[in-house]
Amino acid sequence: MLKYAFLLFVLISGHFSAAQDAISLKKKIDRIDSLIFYNNFTEGEKETDLLYNSLSKSHTKKDDKDTKLKLLLYKAYIFARKRKTNKALEISFDIMARANEYHLPEKEYQACLMAATMYEHSNDFELCKNYLNRAKELYKTHHLENVYSVYCIRLSSYYRFVKEIDSAIYYAYKGLDYAIRYKNKRERTDACLLLGGLLSRDNYLEAVKYSSLAANDFLHKRDYEGAAAMYNNIASTYLHHKEAEKALLYSDSASWVFNTNSLPEADHFLRIRYRLFDTLGHKDSAYHYLKKYHDTYVKELGRMEAAAIKKITEQYQNDKKETVIKNKNQQLIFIVILLVMIVLVSVLLLRKNKKINIQNKVISKQVKELVKTLEQKQVLLSELQHRVKNNLQHVISILEIQKESIDFNNIEELIRGNQNRIHSMALLHKKLNTSDRVNYIDLRRYINELSELVKNSYENGKKKINLEIQCEIEEISLEKALPIGLIVVELISNSIKHAFIKQNIGNINVVILKDESTKKNKLFYADNGIGFDFNLIAPKGLGIEIIKGLIDQLDGTTITKQTRGFELTIYF
């Protein structure tokens, strides 16, 4: 009983510990999110790295993979805000690859949108649109409604840059709607920021409304530069529409934000203040802000000039040092060059001699190969002459047998049959003439070409003959190849002439392979025609007698089956 109680206690403790870990992890994530939301990027990056390294050492579950990718997205966002575009892109690509591997589509979607943002900042709008399209595919496939506002904001920003203002306004409104629906604070602020800029000319009151909302959001998260910029934009909008008094109120608000938070007044703020007071007729104030704007502009120019001067000075110092080093090393360089030239000449001479030796060896080898090739051709010529003599004797024998046959009333059929037999011999000689081996030929090619030749000789368009050839024996001697070829010619000829009298479509199968059970070569032939008994003595015709004589020449044995059609198996 105590044993079971102890096990129960261990299980409860384990679950309690896991729950505590999950709560602790969520608190850490929420803190990082808060730090980034309130623009504390230095502390946010530090805590993101600590938590990511901790998870990398001790967690492997899918939930932890999701959390690690979330932390990487935080890192990418921090780098983007710090204008480190390359680092943000590098992390985004890493997240895409991992999210795809882990089957986490929402993280891949967010990484695509981060990459699109970076390409937008780099003015590469083609790549920006590519990643926006990929994000859209992921949204549609996986129904990512809760983060759809991010896509709408990014697409609106893209259309703003490519001057499609109507589309930019449409997606900004849509992004605001989804951001409010799913309580996405960042996207709500971004949507208001976009609408404040996009509506400033055609519907400036709406632009002021959304810029004010964005300013409030910036103040809430202590982004005082952002808030001051919004107030300054509102002032600019009112000034553009000749409402100077209202413009002054928002310009004063921007001034208050700058002064209260000890921020340097931005040049665009000073420019608006100058124009505003000039419009109101406050010449002293206008002059004051014009001078401050001018001083800021001059200071910026001075900073840029100082940086340029510093760069030129450093370059001069470096050039001077290089000149001193160059003067000290001139003699050494001259000696080294001289030594290198001597070595190069020596190497070139050695390489030339080596090349000559190699060429001599190549020439010697080529001479030997030519002599060998000549000897082979002489043997081949002698073999061809011998084969021609033997094959002509075959032809004479067949003609002698046919002379005594009384059934050949169709002279065209007689000629065509003999043509096919002679073609089989001619094709064999052609294969022998193009082969490097004197006594062997490629059986597979020989049988395929020979079968097609016989089929084509009987082609008349009235019947469709399907010919299937399978030959697994690659090479075979000439002594075997000739009778095998003549057997195939006779069998295919007989099938095409006699087997398919009662049908329009005929199938012929020829298979030649090595039979493992008998350790012999096997020729299997079949058609789906009317069939006949191969073992009966034919009362007329010459083909079957030729086949049997050729089988005897191969020392072969036969097996036939009485099935629908005709089947013959020859072992040799």
Closest CA to 546 of 501, 467, 488, 469: 488
Taking 60 as the threshold, does the pLDDT of residue 400 lie above it?
Answer: no
Mean pLDDT of 496-507: 86
Please, are residues 195 and 212 in contact by the beta-carbon 8 Å criterion? Answer: no
Q: 451-495, pLDDT tens digit by residue? A: 888 888 777 777 888 999 999 888 888 788 888 888 888 888 888
- Report the mean per-residue pLDDT for the chain: 80
Which pair of structure tokens corresponds to residue 137? 């595919």
Taking 70 as the threshold, does the pLDDT of residue 318 lie above it?
Answer: no
pLDDT of residue 222: 85
Out of 124-128, 152-156, 418-422, least confident range: 418-422
pLDDT of residue 37: 78
C-alpha–C-alpha distance, residues 316 and 320, integer Å: 6
Please, are residues 478 and 439 in contact by the beta-carbon 8 Å criterion? Answer: yes
Mean pLDDT of 91-116: 91
Q: How confident is the model at residue 157 (pLDDT cuts 50, 70, 90)?
A: very high
Q: How confident is the model at residue 429 (pLDDT cuts 50, 70, 90)?
A: low
Q: Cα angle at 385 between 380 and 386, to 5 degrees? A: 95
Residue 81, H or E segment: helix 62-81
**Burial class (CB within 10 angstroms; exposed 0-12, middle 13-18, buried 19+) of 449:** middle
pLDDT of residue 141: 92
Task: Indicate the DSSP class of residue 537.
Answer: P
C-alpha–C-alpha distance, residues 115 and 93, integer Å: 8
Length of the chain: 572
C-alpha–C-alpha distance, residues 423 and 429, integer Å: 10
**How many beta carbons lie within 10 A of that of residue 281, not counting itself?**
9
**How many beta carbons lie within 10 A of that of residue 331, not counting itself?**
9
pLDDT of residue 438: 58
Taking 60 as the threshold, does the pLDDT of residue 539 lie above it?
Answer: no
Residue 252, H or E segment: helix 244-260
Mean pLDDT of 79-108: 90
Q: Which amino acid is at 480?
A: K
Q: How confident is the model at residue 62 (pLDDT cuts 50, 70, 90)?
A: low
Q: How confident is the model at residue 137 (pLDDT cuts 50, 70, 90)?
A: very high
Measured between alpha carbons, how far is residue 155 from residues 3, 223, 483 in Å?
63, 24, 77
Taking 80 as the threshold, does the pLDDT of residue 496 lie above it?
Answer: yes
pLDDT of residue 380: 58
**Percent of the chain topping pLDDT 70:** 77
pLDDT of residue 155: 92
pLDDT of residue 497: 83
Comparing 520 with 302, which gets the higher pLDDT? 520
pLDDT of residue 169: 92
C-alpha–C-alpha distance, residues 80 and 95, integer Å: 15
Mapped onto helix, strand or coil, the DSSP state of residue 144 is: coil
Q: How confident is the model at residue 437 (pLDDT cuts 50, 70, 90)?
A: low
Residue 350, H or E segment: helix 283-404
Q: Which domains does the chain have, with CATH numbers?
A: 23-258 (1.25.40.10), 407-571 (3.30.565.10)
pLDDT of residue 115: 92
Taking 80 as the threshold, does the pLDDT of residue 309 lie above it?
Answer: no
pTM for the whole structure: 0.49
Q: 550-560, pLDDT tens digit by residue? A: 888 888 898 88
**How many beta carbons lie within 10 A of that of residue 332, not counting itself?**
9
pLDDT of residue 436: 54
C-alpha–C-alpha distance, residues 484 and 256, integer Å: 105
Out of 8-12, 240-244, 316-320, least confident range: 8-12
Taking 70 as the threshold, does the pLDDT of residue 24 lie above it?
Answer: yes
Taking 80 as the threshold, does the pLDDT of residue 2 lie above it?
Answer: no
Taking 60 as the threshold, does the pLDDT of residue 424 lie above it?
Answer: no
Which residues fall within 8 angstroms of residue 272, CB to CB, at 6 or more apart?
232, 235, 236, 239, 247, 251
Q: 38-54, pLDDT tens digit by residue? A: 778 888 888 888 888 88
Taking 60 as the threshold, does the pLDDT of residue 381 lie above it?
Answer: no
Q: How confident is the model at residue 517 (pLDDT cuts 50, 70, 90)?
A: confident
**Averaging pLDDT over each range in 190-204, 396-410, 452-466, 535-549, which range is the top one?**
190-204
